[in-house]
Amino acid sequence: MASLLFRLGRFSFGKKWWVISAWLVTLIAAASLMSALQPQFAKDFSLPGTDSGTATEQVEQYFPAVMAQQSRASTSVLVAADDGLASHRDQLDRLVSDLRALPELTDPGTVVDPLALAQARPELSTSVLGDNGKVGLIQIRQNTEIMDLTTDQKDALTSILDRNRGNGLQVEATGSLMQVSEAGGKAEAIGFVVAFVIMIIAFGALVASFIPLVTGLVGVGLTIMLLNLSAEVISINESATGIVTMLGIALSIDYALFIVSRYRSELTRGGTPEDAIGRAVGTAGSAVVFAGLTVAIAVAALMVVGIPLITQMGLGAAVAVVIAVLGALTLIPALLGAAGRFAFAPRIPWIKHAEPSETAETNGVRFGRTVVRRPLPFIIIGLLALAVAAIPATKLELGLSLTSEDEVPAQTLLQRGFGEGINGPLLVVLHAEEGRTVDAAADETVAGIKTLANVANTAQLTWTGDGTTRPDIDARAALISVTPNSGPAAQATHDLMEQIRDLAPAAERAGAELHVGGQTAITSDLSAKLSSALIPYLIVVIGLAFLIMVLVFRSLWVPLIGTVGFVFSILATFGVTVAIFQEGDFGLISHTQPIISFLPIFLIGVVFGLAMDYQVFLVTRMREEFVHGMNTKDAIITGYRHGARVVTSAAIIMISVFAAFMLSPDTTAKMIGFALAAAVLFDAFVIRMLVVPAILSLLGDRAWHLPKWLDRWVPDVDIEGGAVRNRGIAITEQTDRVPAAAGMGSQR
């Protein structure tokens, strides 16, 4: 493979303008299609094959008006006053007047003062007034589709809220308008700025620092456009785009960083620039291919979970990885060719030379020498630190909160005045076969639900049918909305859902099938499905990745060490994420919440891929030196000499990109960004840069051993680039490394 990549690198370098033009044409074509088709991401969740998924399908079929109403904007305005709302009638009148001026209201007459509504219709008083008249609810329904809401409309609402709160009256809102998010870009911009600064330090030159950024912009832009275009054909949830953006930026920059760094190193060895880029792509490019393959497998394997949203995230991330690899192998050589002799100019004089000589005493060499001299303390300290960080993971609670930070004050008032379950009703759907009615089964189900302990709306509980003459006569389907006393993510709500499902046999005897849906039921089924899929997923991901690492390193010890190290880093990541987001430690999060239910399985897939990324980049250089004559300890130190600065820079870039997403108003993106940043920190710096080399040092030359019976079956893919190592370098020019320069021993 090294020879093939050597030729690809030389071709892209020599035909630079053709390659750059091809990438530009692809971008323009994707952008043009997006402009013409205007595809939209979905915001709803679906779980086919589950009870809640079936319920959603039946609501769509038999109660289309309900589904149509759910697709249109609905916002709840909460008002509260400790001295009672009756003391603020004038303020409430002004608030209602302002709210009625909002555009596209379904019926302005339904936007009313809760005090007036409760007085006019006493039977509705408990649904609009709570906490002894101290909390009120004003419902705003608009004809606008949720997907079509804009930030200007949200700003109009928040301006009304700001004008009318004060003098003892609290005014907050939750729902569709408050969930409109600003256009992305802030987190990405911060990530690019940090990456640029780090690459200036890594390269000591301006032009070379721009090249990976260009690749990152092209890679993530093309990936997002392709993902957006796919939404024209299949339903793609907008939540899937966050992780694609994170991975696309980080991997595109990281892979470019490795290629550019190796190219500079090869230039110092001699030969033409074309041969130097060929050798860089043939060696570092091989590591990029296998690292990318490992990441792609890890994220694409998320499809085994069987949840559309998770599958979309995984496949979108896999596309981002593939584009990042293609960019590193073709676009980077082309850009280096276009830059020519100015690639590493102008030099920044106050930054130390980023590519030291074979005998220079760098910080990486000094650290590596310390690690291989006394490996055991580093192993113990590193693993013990991760074990301590993992302790909070024992308190892990899973849930799925769709509430944004802007909605938290309103949600608090909603729970105070109307109960925690008011915003998470369970939708019970009954359906009878052709020629039969659902009336008897619906009556029996309503009676059964009223006997359950955790139902808040027992007095108002009834069913609505799809009867042609009257909704409750000769209906084939019935819909019952059940409001729990407990919150949507509470265990008591999950138990209530299961108790209602236990009524299904009785409904079946009465001639109908029963299913429980709604957002609360969907999230509960989501957690259950994720839990059941975790073990099969781990087997698929770790098994395939282990085989790839055996192929790459031609060793059993290196893949085994890498996998065990991953377990430590992922547990530590769970621990700090629980401590920050769930337990509220250090005060970094204002409003704590359970860990997003799909985060553990998703984090395992992504982090395993990223962990193997750095394993491949750092350890392949060590193996390369071992294969070409050094003993293991010398090879480790030489690996630090050439890889420590680059891997450190790449890890800091990835951490910065992920951490920047904590600025997002979307809680999902914020939590995923933090967890990924913490995972890279633990895995890159503790496991890959410290523990793995220390263990390899203890094992010595045995670390690279492959049993003879297995050696016959494992093909030699030449990831070290032995076939191209000296191509284009005359014998007198060759500057093959001298093992003794590492300072620890001699050749094997």
Tokens coding 418: 């109307």
Q: E strands of 81-237, at which residues? A: 129-130, 135-145, 170-175
Q: Which domains, from first to last, does the chain contain? A: 1-38+185-355 (1.20.1640.10), 72-179 (3.30.70), 360-405+528-715+738-748 (1.20.1640.10), 425-517 (3.30.70.1430)
Summary mean pLDDT of the chain? 82
Predicted pLDDT of residue 207: 83
In this structure, of 61-75, 101-115, 445-459, the range with the lowest mean pLDDT score is: 61-75
Mean pLDDT of 696-705: 87
- pLDDT 10s digits, 281-336: 888 888 788 878 878 887 887 777 777 777 777 888 888 889 999 999 999 999 99
**Residue-level pLDDT at 237:** 65
Asked if the model's pLDDT at residue 731 lies above 50, the reply is: no
pLDDT for the residue numbered 359: 62
User: What is the pLDDT, as a whole number, of residue 469?
Assistant: 56
Q: Which residues of 603-617 are buried (b: 16+ CB within 10 A; e: fewer)?
A: bbbbbbbbbbbbbbb
- Contact indicator for 479, 409 with CB cutoff of 8 Å: no
Predicted TM-score (pTM) of the model is 0.77
Range among 32-41, 83-92, 456-465 rated most confident: 83-92
Helix residue ranges per DSSP H, 482-598: 491-501, 504-509, 519-553, 557-577
C-alpha to C-alpha distance for 285 and 281, rounded to whole angstroms: 4
**Under 8 Å between Cβ of 38 and 510:** no
Task: Answer for the pair 480, 445: CB distance below 8 angstroms, yes or no.
Answer: yes
Which two three-digit tokens encode residue 100? 């009625």
Percent residues over pLDDT 90 in the chain: 24
How far, in Å, CA of 2 to CA of 286, rounded?
6
The phi and psi torsions of 251 (rounded to 5 degrees) equal -70, -40
Distances (CA, A) of 596 to 246, 396, 400: 18, 10, 5
Which tokens in the block code for residue 8?
A: 């690809």
Judge whether residue 272 has pLDDT over 90.
no
Please name which of 44, 164, 53 lies closest in space to residue 529, comparing C-alpha atoms. Answer: 53
Q: Which of 47-51, 233-237, 513-517 has the highest mean pLDDT?
A: 513-517
Asked if 89 contacts 147 with a C-beta cutoff of 8 angstroms, the reply is no
**Residue 146 or 360, more confident:** 146
Q: What is the token pair recorded at 627?
A: 């294969």
pLDDT class of 725 with cuts at 50, 70, 90:
low
184 DSSP assignment: S
User: Mean pLDDT across the stretch 28-52?
Assistant: 77
Residue 448 has pLDDT above 90, yes or no: yes
DSSP string, 23-57: HHHHHHHHHHHHHHH----B-----TTSHHHHHHH
